[in-house]
């Protein structure tokens, strides 16, 4: 019998790569979406293939219980969130409800359907739960690089909500004996990344200017440094975490950092342009509370999961720029892409 997985946020970048990976491993894959009329579902199926869909909403406890009862999954991957950090200041309450409380609701759905209580612990064949935690939880970092024991100091409503989700996952593991883990994933990108994220904004900007569709690209803080990897590599790590004998949390990243300036310079050089001729600094793109440096220490994942990233930074940026040149050359609009930034 193949294993059955339920993925929230399946119409996002990470959900699409995870679905592809699980299908390649012989899983039956189900995605949770907020409505069958969701226009991204048809495009997702076109790109990903044999994915089954059920409805549910991270804001609605009853719908999650119904979805878990219907699917009867072996594994649940909670990737659904409002994941664009700048938006979290504009919609702080909604971010808390979806990105934070949504984790609690999914854990409760699994607990209720499984009949788990303080007096009834789960059996060996229990549903395994993965929570998508974030390096944004580290925020104003206490040490570099950051590992599983580094204290959190989030600097955005998004980071605060992710920190709640991380701790409630840990709490359900310790309170009920549930197989519940968090992957603390550092920045991971791809051609499927939403156009509002800085990496994709840069690669789309370089492609537009190369093709004569724009003259400039406006950006905020160019000095922030991030640990950037390929989303497809990080999807592999998610499955590996749920394949272990015991539930533990893991930091996933490359252990290397580049600045936004490095990203811009390499993206523009990929299409034969000098970024300094086209990039304009604009204060409106600066965060209210900036996170200056995030760098992973993935030693535990490397040693226990045997996980290593396969795609390096320059290969990743080249992949994204070339994809965006093709996309814009075909007169497609980025907003029509199948992988939605609105994926809870």
For the annotated catalytic residues, the residue numbers are: 163
Query: Of the candidates 126, 285, 153, which has an alpha carbon nearest to the alpha carbon of residue 217?
Result: 285
Q: What CA–CA distances, in Å, run from 120 to 76, 181, 214, 242?
A: 21, 20, 61, 22
Paired with 134 in beta bridges are: 185
Cα three-residue angle 137-164-199, rounded to 5 degrees: 35
Q: Cα separation of 321 and 207, whole Å?
A: 6
Q: Cα separation of 171 and 5, whole Å?
A: 23
Q: Cα separation of 309 and 8, whole Å?
A: 24
Query: Of the candidates 80, 79, 53, 48, which has an alpha carbon nearest to the alpha carbon of residue 67?
Result: 53
């Amino acid at each position: 019998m193949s294993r059955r997985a339920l993925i929230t946020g399946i119409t996002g970048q990470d959900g699409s790569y995870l679905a592809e990976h699980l299908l390649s491993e012989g899983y039956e894959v189900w995605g949770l979406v907020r409505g069958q009329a969701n226009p991204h579902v048809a495009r997702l199926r076109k790109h990903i293939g044999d994915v089954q869909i059920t409805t549910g909403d991270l804001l609605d406890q009853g719908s999650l219980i119904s979805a878990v009862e219907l699917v009867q999954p072996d594994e649940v991957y909670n990737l659904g969130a409002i994941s664009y950090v700048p938006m979290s200041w504009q919609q702080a309450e909604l971010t808390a409800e979806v990105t934070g409380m949504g984790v609690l609701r999914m854990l409760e759905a699994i607990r209720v359907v499984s009949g788990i209580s303080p007096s009834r612990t789960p059996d060996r064949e229990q549903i395994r739960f993965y929570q998508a935690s974030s390096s944004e939880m580290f925020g104003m970092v206490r040490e570099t690089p950051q590992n599983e024991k580094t204290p959190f100091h989030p600097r955005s409503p998004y980071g605060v909500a992710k920190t709640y989700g991380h701790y409630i996952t840990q709490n359900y593991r310790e309170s009920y004996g549930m197989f519940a883990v968090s992957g603390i994933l550092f920045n991971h990108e791809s051609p499927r990344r939403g156009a509002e994220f800085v990496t994709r904004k840069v690669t789309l900007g370089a492609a537009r200017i190369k093709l004569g569709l724009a003259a400039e690209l406006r950006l905020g803080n160019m000095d922030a440094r991030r640990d950037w990897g390929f989303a497809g590599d990080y999807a592999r790590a998610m499955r590996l975490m749920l394949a272990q004998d015991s539930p533990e949390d893991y930091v996933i990243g490359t252990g290397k950092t580049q600045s936004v300036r490095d990203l811009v310079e390499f993206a523009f050089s990929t299409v034969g342009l000098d970024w300094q001729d086209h990039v304009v600094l604009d204060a409106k793109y600066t965060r209210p509370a900036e996170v200056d440096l995030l760098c992973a220490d993935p030693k535990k994942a490397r040693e226990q999961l045997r996980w290593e990233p396969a795609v390096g930074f320059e290969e990743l940026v080249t992949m994204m720029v070339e994809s965006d040149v093709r996309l814009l050359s075909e007169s497609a609009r980025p907003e029509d892409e199948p992988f939605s930034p609105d994926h809870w």
